[in-house]
Structures are given as structure tokens and as C-alpha cells.
Structure 1
Amino acid sequence: MYNYLKKFGLSLILSSLIGVIYLTGCNQATPTTVEPLSRTEFVLGTVAKISLYDHQSEEILDLAANRLHELEDTLSINKTGTLIDEINNQAGIAPVQVDEDTFKVIERGLAYSELTDGAFDITVGPIVKLWNIGFPEARIPSSEEIKAALPLVGFDKATLNAADSTVYLKEKGMQLDLGGIGKGYAADEIADLLRSQGVQHALIDLGGNLYTLGTKVDGSLWNIGVQDPFNPRGKIIGRLTTADHSIVTSGIYERYIEDEAGHKYHHILDPKTGYPYENEIAGVTIISKSSTDGDALSTSVFALGIEKGLEFIESQPDVEAIFITTDYKIYITEGLKDIFTLTNDAFTLAN
């Protein structure tokens, strides 16, 4: 008998200067005193909230909500009848023709799979389904089950044909899982949609994928609080200031299952072993222009550890990171040293 634990969404808190607390994701942003027009939707497996600060337009929010549900109908693996579901069902049988969104997300996912040498791998679906962490059916699979599933994981066994816009998984039983990149792509798409409608000041929160569109209405930067991974939502380790950036956080505290001995198995799975990553990292926050990039990278660096993870992020253009370790140390990339402030005495800035 296992205890099932799920922390719904992640831990994002958006608090305004008038004291309103908005709980849904991984970070904390302090908006302006301007009251936004907001829309909340349950989509892509999380609570999404879009807040417009310079356009009081329900029509724009309708467009954004419809776009989110359109992407869910295409990219989700938890809904039957989606294109991803069809690709998985046709694994080892036949290529599947897909739409532009699906092709682009899979193409980006495979590029990151190659860049990270499989540390991030969108074909990890068979392993994810075994554990089912974050769902009522979550369980700890046997070593035999994991051993049997591992040969079905491998980004090099997924092929794309741009001319025909098809995707093919070469072995029966293979499964794509876009959970590590899909919400990032959706956040970027919503940001582009809002810009096309003339919106210049907005917050997009897709359950931990936060996008700060433009600055605050008064021209100042957004203040983002980074969640303390060891305490309830709303407790932060520090703040950073930014505008027109994506902030994505992954952590071992988000979703996990616990066995009878009290050992916790978190949801960030190693595609090469079939088990959760085990190292000193408790949480990673990626700051980037692209939320798609941030989503993939926030998962990828768990495989690398602190030293190699920092080195890898420093090699990526326009990307910064905050690493939080299990011994309460914080490591940040060079580009954050002037815009990140540690505010929690329980933590030590280590570099």
C-alpha cells in the first residue's frame, strides 16, 4: 500500500500590492496595482491563468482560452483521440500525419533529446506510464517491469518526415510524453497570440510555467519570487526582477509517491534507468526568452548535477538558472547575479 501524494500544479504565487494572493504554480510574481482582467481554465492537466493588464478584453481572453484547449486536444497524452495518442497507438505500425503544432513540438523535443544525450527524452512515455506519478493510479513498479520498458525508450527511434508532416515511432509499445515541453510551447503560443492582439502587459501562468509579457504597466520590471522547495506555497527563497521572460521551475517536491518505509519517489524520471533522478538537486528554475526551452531545460539539468548543470546552462544563449540543493544551498548563473536577491536566511548563496 503506497501513500499517494500530488501537489496540484506546482507552486506559483502571484501577489499584488493590494494583498491578493493567487496560488497556482512554481514562482511568485508581484503585479502592479492595476487590476487585471483574468481568465482561469483547467487545461493541459493544470490550472492556467491569463491576466491582462492593459486590455480589458474578454474577446482576447476567449481567443487565448480556445487556443489552450486546441493545443490540449492535439498534444495531451491523457486524453484519448489526440494526435499524440494516435502516434503512440501506431508505434511500430505506421507513420502518423500531424498538424503544425504537433510537428513543431516533437521536433523541438527531439532536438533537446539529442542536445542532452537523452537526459531529456520525449520517448520516456513507457516509463512515465509505469509510475503514473501525479495520478491516483501511481505506484512503484517492479525492477522487472522497468527493465522490460527501458528498451522502448530512445529518441533515436522516433523519425520525422517534414515533407509529409509525419511522425513515426519505430517499435511497438513506444510512447511519446510531451509533459516536459508541452506547457512551455503553449505558454509561448499564448504570448505570441496576445502580442498579435496588441497586448503589451500580461502574466501567463500555466501551472508553473510563468511568462511575464512585457513590463508592468508603469514600465517597471516584474518581481518574481522563487518557491522554497521545502515549505508550503508562498514561502520563497529570494526574488528576481525581469520582463518579457519565461520562468519555469521543476522540483522533486512537486509530485511524488511514498512507500511504506517513507521513501519518496519524485516524478522527474531518468530515461536511462527508469527511476527518479537521485542527486543533490531539489529544484531548478530556468529563466529564458522561450518557455519551450525553459520547460525542456528545467528537466534536463537534473541529470547533470550542479557543476555540469551550471556549465551546460552557461553554454546556452539567453538562458539563466537557479539551482537549489537538498542541503539548502543556492547556485545561480552569472547573468542573474545583479537581478537575484536571496531573502531567506535558511539558504546560502554558494557561488
Structure 2
Amino acid sequence: MGATFSVVLYGSDRASMNQAMDAAFEEAHRLDALLSNYRPASEWSRINREAAARPVAVSPELFRLLSDCIEYSRASEGTFDLTVGPLMRAWGFSGGGRHVPSPDQIREALELVGYRHVQLDARKRTVRFDRPGVEIDPGGVGKGYAVDRMVEVLRARGMRSALVAASGSSIFGLGNPPEEPRGWPISIADPWDHRKNAAQVFLKDLSLSTSGNYEKSFRAGGRRYSHIMDPRRGVPPESAVQVTVIAPRAIDSEVWAKPYFIQGRAWTAARKPKSWRVLYCENTPGAACSWVR
């Protein structure tokens, strides 16, 4: 999945903690073998190779995950989309030099982008693409899903205090660390000056994910272009510079960070669950980040 996972554990039984940590990392390795689009033998890679030619039968776990992803796409009005890969290549974010593609190149890529190109058959548990060139990318969902599964493994092993992170951008705080009943303290960087913090939060049985336009980007013609792509229009959005989502599950915080980023503050305020927290940083140099109400 191209992610680095880390686990911090507190407890009184070192042997049990070591066993739990080993089991959590074994789960991460298992999911990498299932979801990686870098591993030719993974189920995910097999779908991308074969689904344009024929329906591909998949495991119950992967079918459930893909079904959830289609629902995320519908709920986000197409701003979360597993099929965004051709657009990422057109902009040079998936190999090749990063550049602004021509309007024709964007139009060609958009013909292969859209969750409706992915056809799921629940009775047969198969996946099919409706045209050649369509592909699915686990980048927007895999880390969060893996973090949630690792947390479930730790819970099943009796762990009650843990911090699980995937590449620092998807984090789950299980319980709380010693002497901090509020939860795990997490600092959210100021996107305009990473030496400063935009906010500090405490995660207690909660997840946090951040998307920022500085993570993978390039400048051309006096503008910054980000890897965060609007799958409907084929261009990076400009309304935000960073969005952080706090939600009960890591898959939810990871998935929804990008639709909130793309759709803007007003859309986010109207649609986010009331119990979730979203820190929105406008794309205005020096502007303060603020919580969406």
C-alpha cells in the first residue's frame, strides 16, 4: 500500500504486548498482500488486470470493501473515486514528470474515471469494469482500512491503550496513554508554517486523517498544483490547503478528508456527521485554520 505503519502500546504484560504488536503487523502485511496495487499477485492487482475483460470473483472481505467504496463515492457526489488513476498519470503524479496536462489529455483521462465504470455483482461476488483502461487505486482507502483492522487485532488481544498510525496521515488512538485521561495528544501542523501547530487534539477511541495540498505538488505558471484531484473535473481543487477529519473509524476519516477538501467548507458543514470534527484550512496564505461548525 506504500505506507509505513507504527504502533505505540502501553500495558503491564510485556509478553502479551509483544504478541499483540506482532499480530497487528501481521495483519498489516496480510492486507498489503490483498490490497496493494504494487504486488502483481494481490487480489487488487488481479482486478485491474482482468476486470475489463471478464467478471473477476473476489474474496468476501475485498467485495465488502469495494461495495463500501462505491457508497462513499455516491455519498460524496463523486469526489471520492477509486478510479482516479488515469488522471493522476495525466498530471504526472503516478510516474513521469509532474506537469499541467492539455485539455485534451484531461478529457481523455476523464473518459476512464468514474465509479460507475465499476460494476459489482453481489450474488456472484464479482467485479467488472465496463471498458478497457479503467483501474482502481487503493490509495484513498487502504491506509485507513488497515489501521482499523490493526486496532481490532489489538483489542482482540486485550490491548486498551495504543496509538496506531499509517505514514503519519491516518491515526487511531485506542483508549488513552498513562496520566492523560483525555486521550492521545496529536498536534496538527499549520499548513503555512510547519514549525507551528494549527491545533492540538486528543484522540480517545477516535481516528484522525489529514489531507494537504503540499504533500505531493508542483508549481507551474505561478500556481501550485496538488495531487488531490477532483475526479469530476480532472483538476486539483483550490478552495483548501489542508483538511483534517476526526471520526470514530480511520477508514471514514481517511476517505472523507478529500471530499471535504474538494467540496469546500459550506458543503462540509451541511453534510458532516454532527459528532465528527473537521479542521478546515482555507487556501489563503496566512489565514488561520478553524473548526467547521
Normalising by structure 1, we get a TM-score of 0.76
Mapped to 2, the partners of 1:147 and 1:198 lie a distance apart of: 52
Pick aligned residue for 2:205 from 237, 244, 265 = 244
- Correspondence list, 1:180-199, <5 A: 180-199=140-159
Give 1:198 deviation, angstroms. 0.3
- Correspondence list, 1:205-224, <5 A: 205-207=165-167, 208-218=169-179, 220-221=181-182, 222-224=184-186
Q: Secondary structure at the match of 1:269?
A: coil
Mapped to 1, the partners of 2:117 and 2:209 lie a distance apart of: 28
- Correspondence list, 1:291-310, <5 A: 291-310=250-269
Give 1:321 deviation, angstroms. 0.7
**Aligned partner letter, 1:289:** P
Mapped to 2, the partners of 1:73 and 1:139 lie a distance apart of: 32
Q: 1:145 to 1:93 in 2, by over 3 A?
A: same
Q: How many residues align?
A: 286
Is the 8 Å Cα contact of residues 134 and 256 (structure 1) preserved in structure 2?
A: no
CA-based RMSD:
1.9
Pick aligned residue for 2:280 from 323, 326, 339 = 323
Mapped to 1, the partners of 2:92 and 2:140 lie a distance apart of: 15
| Residue in 2 that maps onto 1:46 | 3
Deviations 1:52-108 (A, max 9, x none): 111533222221112111111211223323222221222321111112332222111
Is the 8 Å Cα contact of residues 268 and 292 (structure 2) preserved in structure 1?
A: no
Mapped to 2, the partners of 1:293 and 1:332 lie a distance apart of: 18
Pick aligned residue for 1:141 from 101, 107, 119 = 101
Mapped to 2, the partners of 1:299 and 1:78 lie a distance apart of: 23
Is the 8 Å Cα contact of residues 131 and 139 (structure 1) preserved in structure 2?
A: yes
Q: Where in structure 1 are there 5+ consecutive unaligned residues? A: 1-43, 335-351
**Aligned partner letter, 2:247:** S
Q: 1:139 to 1:63 in 2, by over 3 A?
A: farther
Q: 1:102 to 1:254 in 2, by over 3 A?
A: same
Give 1:164 deviation, angstroms. 2.4
Normalising by structure 2, we get a TM-score of 0.91
Give 1:251 deviation, angstroms. 0.8
Q: 1:178 to 1:307 in 2, by over 3 A?
A: same
Mapped to 2, the partners of 1:96 and 1:141 lie a distance apart of: 33
Give 1:190 deviation, angstroms. 0.6
Mapped to 1, the partners of 2:230 and 2:238 lie a distance apart of: 9
Give 1:317 deviation, angstroms. 5.2
Give 1:137 deviation, angstroms. 4.8
Deviations 1:265-287 (A, max 9, x none): 111001012111122x1111100
Is the 8 Å Cα contact of residues 50 and 202 (structure 1) preserved in structure 2?
A: yes
Deviations 1:110-141 (A, max 9, x none): 10100011011112122123334275654443
Q: Secondary structure at the match of 1:226?
A: strand
